[in-house]
Amino acid sequence: MADKKKITILVPCYNEEAVLKEFYGRVSSVISDIKSGDFSIFFVNDGSSDRTLEIMKDLNKKDKRVHYLDLSRNYGKEIAVIAGIDYIDADAMILIDADLQDPPELIEKMIEYWQQGYDDIAAKRKSRAGETFFKKWSSHMYYRILQSVTRISIQTDVGDFRLLSRQCIEALKSMREFERYNKGLCSWIGFNKKEILYDRDARFAGETKWNYFKLFNLAIDGITSFTIVPLRLATIMGLFTALAAVIYMCVIVIKTILGIGHTVPGYPSLISAILFIGGVQLFCMGIMGEYIGRIFTESKGRPLYFAKEMDGKKIIDYTMIKNS
């Protein structure tokens, strides 16, 4: 085993008791047939309130390849991923969800491309079973919008299911920003990339943890983390509104001088102008508030997370996550 590369399968979990054993069974079957790697499965419990942690502990006792990290509370998937990255020690990492929408059988193909020299092998979805038309359409449009407003090449229709080389792992570990968007970060770091097309399955069991509100927040994080275009849009809208107001004022002055129409502006036009300008101002303030809020969050310098235990051992030294 000494000449085999260490490969860790990183699995962030939140209330996945309904699917975790089935996921372990499929992944275990896949990696048992791959002889080119020394595998381990690393679960991150993101503050689950069901039996997810108990199942992780049972699997850890039964299989020496299984490890787990228990976070102190629910921090969200993006933070759970960087928590796992901080604690793993591997030559390559495969990030995958536990819901079995992403087939573990693709792992062998990812490893083949990694051995050919690729650093980031991502699974790209051809189809998405079990999802509504609106979710598919909104996801498709979001990726196109994000690509159009950023200066980096954002991978479209690509989820979290991917293999990352040690270089990519260290690159992601070095970025300690609080408002994280892992798909964008993987695109931002660069390195040699490869995409594998596949058909995404519906969830094996349980319910998705991503409602439209959470997806909207994630989309906002993605846009504000990788572009300042919304701020420039606010500037342009402000200039356009000011120019329109000046033109309208000139029209009123000219009409008054020439005695055309009423000398006193009408109530409807006045209210419409006030509401329009006020709406633009609030919209622009909201955009600036999003960025200022992120500055405030980052300026506090807090650790991204705290972990309670790893493989049954309590964690009391947080020097690593503060200084990494």
20-32 vs 52-62: helix crossing angle, rounded to 10: 30
Return the SS3 of 302.
coil
- The CA-atom distances, in angstroms, between 213 and each of 218, 219, 283 are 9, 10, 19
Core vs surface per residue 91-100: b (16+ CB within 10 A) or e: ebbbbbbbbb
How much is the pLDDT for 43? Answer: 93
Distance CA(198)–CA(215), nearest Å, equals 22
Instruction: Return the closest-CA partner of residue 204 out of 287, 99, 280, 111.
Output: 99
Beta bridge partners, 95, equal 10, 162
How much is the pLDDT for 1? Answer: 44
Instruction: Return the closest-CA partner of residue 19 out of 160, 158, 208, 183.
Output: 208
How far out from the chain centre does Cα 77 lie?
Answer: 8
Distance CA(298)–CA(179), nearest Å, equals 8
**Matching residue, tokens 């449009």:** 141
Residue 162: burial class (beta carbons within 10 Å; 0-12, 13-18, 19+): buried
Which amino acid, 91? D
How much is the pLDDT for 49? Answer: 87
Q: Answer whether 100's CB lies under 8 Å from 204's CB.
A: yes
Q: Give CB contacts under 8 A, 24+ apart, made by 208-212.
A: 208/99, 209/14, 209/15, 209/77
Name, in order, each residue with C-beta under 8 angstroms of 108's C-beta and a sequence gap of 6 or more: 30, 33, 34
How much is the pLDDT for 147? Answer: 66
pTM above 0.75, yes or no: no
- Measured at the alpha carbon of residue 221, what is the angle toward residues 286 and 43, in degrees to the nearest 5? 150
pLDDT per residue, tens digit, the chain (324 aa), is 446 788 899 999 988 888 888 888 888 888 888 877 788 999 999 888 888 999 999 999 988 889 999 998 888 888 898 889 988 888 899 998 888 888 888 888 888 888 888 988 888 877 666 566 666 666 666 666 666 666 777 767 777 888 999 988 998 888 888 777 777 788 888 888 888 888 776 554 555 555 555 556 666 666 666 666 676 677 777 777 767 766 776 776 676 666 665 555 565 566 667 767 777 777 777 777 777 777 777 777 778 888 888 888 888 766 666 545
Tokens of 254: 């000219």
DSSP class per residue in 204-272: SSS--S--HHHHHHHHHHHHHHH--HHHHHHHHHHHHHHHHHHHHHHHHHHHHHHT-S-SSPPHHHHHH
* Region 5-145+153-211+302-321: CATH code: 3.90.550.10
Q: Answer whether 76's CB lies under 8 Å from 47's CB.
A: no
Give the count of beta carbons closer than 10 Å to the beta carbon of residue 38: 16
